[in-house]
Structure 1
Amino acid sequence: MARVALVTGGTRGIGEAISRGLKEAGFTVAATYGGNDEAANKFKEETGIHVFKWDVGDFDACKAGIAKVEADLGPVDVLVNNAGITRDGTLHRMTPENWRAVISTNLDSLFNMTRNVIEGMRDRNYGRIISISSINGQKGQFGQANYSAAKAGVFGFTKAVAQESAAKGITVNAIAPGYIGTEMVRAVPEEVLNTKILPLIPVGRLGEPEEIARCVVFLAGEDAGFITGATLTANGGQYMA
């Protein structure tokens, strides 16, 4: 029987590529989304992947949503914490609302989601928890104190939970992408992309969402059982941690 993989923010961008990649690798995939019903329904029609809507920043919503996923598909063996938002602005202009929104979706969600699958994984002596951080959680980024703080928090969470879970057959890892050619990044003016972004990337190009998906598929598989508490950096050499 195929293992169940749950991907938050799994219907668009990097999350969509991850969901597709896991399905191609033989997993039964559930993808969550927060608000774009049109995009989620289109994704479901194109892929046949199950979609579920809830706010990953809400603990009770995560608890109910995961219970629904497990009732429909079976126990969650692989959790990919991918959901994320940005609310950019320099700190002296940042509102408390924009700070809290980013911390809630990008960091609180790790607790909300992982807490609601970890007991089942421990009972079954198996699990894969993979969280998507960012290059900006490693190096910081102008105008992103909220985002950088949240994504840096992913690393500490990953290392702590990896230590707690290793003896129970659960691996816990992070992936830190650099600039990836999602719809959002490709909307950047070409001049800015060519003069401000690409020159910083030694390989000379943007990454592709599918390249991050392949990292997830590897860490989710049986061959990665000896890797835990690690961060897989995928940024084309832009920042070498």
Structure 2
Amino acid sequence: MKKSVGVILALVVTVLTIGAAFTVQHFVSADQAVERQAQSSQTSSSTQATTSASSSMAHVRSTQTSQSTTTKRVKPKHQATARRQHHQAAASAHSQSRRTSAVKKRQSAQSTRSSQTARTSRAATTTTKATATKSTPKAVKSTTTAESVHLVVTGYHKTFFDGRVKINAKSTAFSVLKASKLKLVYQGGVAFYVSSINGLAQNDIKTGSGWKYKVNGKFIDRAANQTKVGKNDSVHWYFTTKGY
């Protein structure tokens, strides 16, 4: 009985030992496979990187070669274009200078004409002023030599005349009234007597009414043809109903 139990335990231990050995071997083989895959992937990635780097270098070299070729081909064209542009710029600058000089000549001619016109107008203005200055004293003389008096003729609530009348050295209150061109009725002789002016006669309003006159606001009780008047005097003929 004891022997059979020992045999069973030995078998169990043997089985367990064999299983553990198989398990360890399986894990070891799995780890090796993973390492190999990693190495292979690294190798492939490095190979791809090397390939891509070489291809990019080849592309860059080809691009540089094409650019240099293009530059060599295009450079003469750019030089020709630059020469043409230079010639065109020089021609335009020359034409612009000609235009500028022509404009300056025109402006100078216009300024010369305007200055001549201004001189002519100034000369004309000076001549006009001189003529006006010369003619002004004559006008002043004619105004100063034309002597006159202020004549007013008032009827019954009505004015027949109000204005200035020219006089001379022999003018009188009667001659001034006659110069007004009003319709007069008077008696002549040594002493003139005015009985009617513009149809308004003595005693028309009432008995004792008639024509009187004043010189410079003063009543004159004398015949009108005997009262002399002078420059800038004021003569007033009026119809009165009071006798004075």
Give the TM-score, by structure 1 length. Answer: 0.20
Q: Which structure dedicates a bigger proportion of its chain to helix? A: 2
Larger Rg: 2
